[in-house]
Structure 1
Amino acid sequence: MPTSSTTPEREAAKARVRAKREARLSMTARDYLSSLLHATHTHAEAEAILDTFERQSDTAARLNRVLDICDGVVRAGGKTVDVDRVHAAALGDDVRKSGGAR
């Protein structure tokens, strides 16, 4: 049976866990990865890993947009693709021009 001194300690521990969880949920993905990497790597190493990850993520996102365009043409029964649209998606220009939206 808990004593009166352990109950406030337990409630305080629960409050700390809740606060950490709320802080984590409010973090961006980059901030979360950064905090994890900085805990196990030097600052320079962590930043280099994040930069590489972001470049690879951007490349994958651009490739997915190109594939979405091509799949849409195939589903619509078309035989030709708008080359300018594919080129813009491959370079990421479609996102930059639309302000980040797809």
Structure 2
Amino acid sequence: MKNPAILLLLAALVMTPLFGQQEQSKATGVLASLKVDQLVSLKETGDRYQITVLDGDLKLPQSHKVLEVGPNFVVVEDITGLNVVRIPLTSIKAVVHFKGFEKM
């Protein structure tokens, strides 16, 4: 057991599953524009959700706050703090960015 090649091989076999289990934490695609602590409006449209983000200097009240954004889900909390909803990517219809009325 004093052979360094065997020890190196044994260490590689033990460490390989640990590196393979690391999950991608950065959101991409539809959820890439959502940030933690961002205020959003959540609307249920049939069996899917529409998430609306107010861009710019608009300071209108929003119904939810983003708690977590993963590669295939988003977690939001309502303004009362009583309800937390974990929404899988397959249940999101759209992420809408409202730029405001001054752009019209």
TM-score (norm 1): 0.30
Which structure has greater strand proportion?
A: 2
Rg larger in structure: 1
TM-score (norm 2): 0.30
Which structure has greater helix proportion?
A: 1
Higher relative contact order (CA 8 A, sep 6+): 2
